[in-house]
Structure 1
Amino acid sequence: MIEREAAVRLVEEELAREDRKWSALGVDTKRTVVTDVEEHELVWIVRWQSEVFVRTGNPGDIGVLSARGGDWEDDYRARIRGLPVRTAVDDLHDEIREIGAAQSRMHAVRALRQRLPVLSPAQAVAYTDALLGGAPPAHLVSIAAGQLVEPIDPVLTVRTVRRGDPVPSRCRPRGHAPPPGGRSPG
């Protein structure tokens, strides 16, 4: 993680750039200032607000998003840092592997079909066999993700001033690739 002062400087530079950009387009902007900096295990959370609001307490037309839920953290880990984030697909894989080990391959196939009825019987067998033998094919994981993983609400996503350094592939847990659109330096 970068130093606190560097994080503040980056945000202030970005705020100034945004102000200049909108001013050049003839938009009457309200100057923004950094109001708070909080250290988080992943990043510096730098908050800003309009200078008018800081001075007067009148929010005017400033939109506010509460970060109380912590939902932004998974988005940051996956999209910005390229870190693996556990999803319902990972839980499904664990469940199917456990059933296959404790009962039988066919019990695992049946359980998979119950959880993912969109899979054909042949796809369920191929998926289960791959899970029991290692890593499943990406196209079947994609089907599972589409059925089981809720898309992130765009309101809860992270907007960063500077893209974070992704975790090199050699440091990621085995079988975890960067998210779509994520960078992988190798």
Structure 2
Amino acid sequence: MVSKAWAVQVVERHLAGWSTRGGPTMVITDIGPHRLGWVVHTQSERYVRTQEMIDMVVGHGPFLVDGVDGSLHTLHATVDLESGEWIEDYLEQVRGLERGDPLRSRVAELIDSSQRIEALRFVRVSASDLGAQGAKEYVDAVAAGVPVPEHVRSCLPRPPVRRRVWRCLSGPNPEI
């Protein structure tokens, strides 16, 4: 994992460019670990000094320094840092990890309680593009505890496309 000191350096390098473009001088006010890396909160230096609302920069969210590659991302101001679909979206889109199968746990539950026919019905209703044979292959794979075949997995429902709540500001920043 990228160190806290490195995360601070990455954010400070980014913030240095703000004041050169006419923006307020920004400083780090808080940094904390997150399962994806480090979350870094910032505020204007003037607000930190005066605590006057007029000096506060509003509307910007925290930064996320990716714990794996050190890349810098800005998060939307309204994002729930600890939960939400944005974490799975981030893992899939930024780190390239495959999203978990949304049907597998329910199908396994039904199989474990000897409701194989109900499991087949559930798969047919949830993945209507699959067909009877595809649903059977899916249930058989789950029952055997093996990965679902690719031709079956490609017919499973995809999660809805949501509004991105982060923006990449830099590529990998390997720690020296």
TM-score by length of 2: 0.61
Q: Which stretch shifts more, 38-47 or 73-82?
A: 73-82
Partner of 1:33: 27
- Which whole-Å CA distance do the structure 1 matches of 2:132 and 2:28 have between them? 56
- Aligned-residue sequence identity (percent) comes to 25
Following superposition of structure 1 onto structure 2, how do residues 1-186 of structure 1 map, counting pairs within 5 Å? 1-17=1-17, 23=21, 28-54=22-48, 55=50, 56-58=52-54, 59=56, 62-64=59-61, 65-68=77-80, 70=82, 71=84, 72-80=86-94, 87=100, 89-90=101-102, 92-100=103-111, 102-103=113-114, 105-133=116-144, 134-146=146-158, 149-155=159-165, 157=166, 159=168, 163=172
* Structural RMSD (CA): 3.6
Query: How far does residue 69 in structure 1 lie from its aligned partner after superposition?
Result: 5.2
- Which whole-Å CA distance do the structure 2 matches of 1:153 and 1:77 have between them? 15
**Structure 2 CA distance for partners of 1:160 and 1:132, relative to 1, 3 Å:** farther
Higher helix share: 1
Q: How many residues align?
A: 153
For residues 42-62 of structure 1, what are the alpha-carbon distances to aligned partners after superposition, in whole Å with 9 as ceiling and x for unaligned? 422211123344454324664
- Which whole-Å CA distance do the structure 2 matches of 1:53 and 1:38 have between them? 21
Structure 1: state its 5+ residue gaps.
166-186
Structure 2: state its 5+ residue gaps.
62-76
